[in-house]
Amino acid sequence: MTGFSKELRVNKNHQKREKEQFGGYYGFSGRTSGMDAYVEKKLREEGLKENGISEWLSSTSARHMTDNLSKNNFKDHINLCVRGAYLDVVVWSHPDHKGNLGSSGEIRKRLQEIFVK
């Protein structure tokens, strides 16, 4: 069962993470094809391509999104949770990232000092 696009389904990172139910959204037992398609659509609207989408879908942020995800009204919840997903993936991919929340905050702050007024 998957509602993800062909472009995402053939991506090696996605295949590995989905097969292993890597965590994040991938490990969510309440997934539906409609949810898969919608979350992918919203992540693409945030500017992510296949590798970024698979990175975000396996994240703790994606797992937290599933905490309150219901089949009845999932769109509004997904819309809220994926805001900033592009920046999340940029921060997590930064060479100085140490894999923890504190490191994410430090890198996010440094990037904002450089690029944001």
58, two tokens? 């396996």
What are the extents of the domains in the chain?
6-115
Q: pLDDT at residue 2 above 90?
A: no
Residue 43 identity: L
pLDDT in tens, 70-85: 777 799 999 999 999 9
As a whole number of angstroms, the distance between CA 97 and CA 31 comes to 30
As a whole number of angstroms, the distance between CA 5 and CA 54 comes to 12
Residue 5: phi and psi, rounded to 5, are -65, 165
pLDDT of residue 116: 84
Alpha-carbon dihedral angle through residues 23, 31, 38, 79, given to the nearest 10 degrees:
-70
pLDDT of residue 22: 66
Q: Find out whether 27 and 63 touch, Cβ atoms under 8 Å.
A: yes
pLDDT in tens, 28-73: 988 999 999 999 999 999 999 999 999 999 999 999 999 888 777 7
Q: pLDDT at residue 1 above 60?
A: no
Per this entry, what is the length of the chain?
117
DSSP character at residue 71: S
pLDDT-derived band at 104 (thresholds 50, 70, 90) equals very high
